[in-house]
């Protein structure tokens, strides 16, 4: 009996991955990796290169056996590409950006297709999150403003990479 459930969930997972791939692809992202054994689930990562920064969109499929359900959540973030390393400077769950929700979307183990509400919510979360990232990190100057704000989730003033990232972004701003 385990096999039909797995293949059913695999169909749901493929459906949601295709949805995110469509939205991400329309915004310049390409699948860069798949990890079928990520913790208690699996993960797909899309990336796009913006020269001075790289953006990542992740889709995580989580298993909650005791609930006989699976969760799906997205996350998005950006890295500043320094000459000698890449530094993650910001990242959030897409549900937090779009809806201020820390929760993943739930899919029952027996669902043969992703519920319409999950599809609609995931699509809206991803679209909203990509727009937020593009707006927030549109230029090195806006990235620097975000980096200096209290409302960011990444490298901060006390982090050892902070001075190098600030110096790099300031240098890019003077070239513009």
d(CA 43, CA 33): 8
pLDDT band at 5 (very low <50, low <70, confident <90, very high): very low
pLDDT at 67 over 70: no
Q: Could you tell me the sign of the dihedral formed by the alpha carbons of 89, 56, 32, 106, in that order?
A: positive
User: What's the pTM value of the predicted model, to 2 decimals?
Assistant: 0.87
2-10 CB contacts, 8 Å cutoff, 24+ apart: 5/109, 5/110, 8/110, 8/111, 8/112, 9/70, 9/107, 9/109, 9/111
- Which of 61, 85, 52, 69 has the alpha carbon at shortest distance from 13? 61
Q: Which of 54-58, 64-68, 92-96 has the lowest mean pLDDT?
A: 64-68
pLDDT at 1 over 70: no
d(CA 111, CA 150): 41
pLDDT at 176 over 70: no
Q: What is the mean pLDDT of residues 58-63?
A: 88
Contact indicator for 24, 130 with CB cutoff of 8 Å: yes
pLDDT band at 124 (very low <50, low <70, confident <90, very high): very high
Element (H, E) at 138: none
Q: What is the mean pLDDT of residues 86-103?
A: 90
pLDDT at 127 over 60: yes
Query: What is the model's pLDDT at position 174?
Result: 61
Residue 7 Cα distances to 63, 110, 116, angstroms: 15, 10, 19
């Amino acid at each position: 009996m385990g096999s039909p459930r797995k293949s059913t969930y695999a169909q749901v997972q493929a459906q949601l991955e295709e949805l995110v791939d469509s939205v991400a692809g329309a915004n310049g992202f390409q699948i860069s990796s798949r990890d079928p054994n990520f913790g208690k689930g699996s993960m797909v990562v899309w990336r796009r290169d913006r020269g001075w920064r790289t953006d990542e969109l992740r889709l995580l499929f989580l298993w909650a056996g005791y609930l006989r359900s699976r969760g799906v959540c997205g996350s998005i973030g950006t890295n500043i590409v320094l000459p000698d390393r890449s530094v993650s400077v910001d990242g959030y769950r897409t549900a937090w950006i779009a809806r201020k929700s820390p929760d993943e979307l739930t899919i029952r183990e027996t669902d043969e297709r992703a519920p319409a509400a999950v599809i609609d919510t995931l699509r809206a979360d991803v679209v909203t999150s990509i727009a937020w990232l593009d707006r927030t990190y549109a230029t090195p100057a806006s990235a620097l403003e975000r980096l200096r704000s209290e409302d960011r989730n990444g490298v901060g003033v006390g982090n050892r990479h902070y001075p190098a990232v600030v110096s790099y972004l300031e240098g890019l701003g003077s070239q513009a």
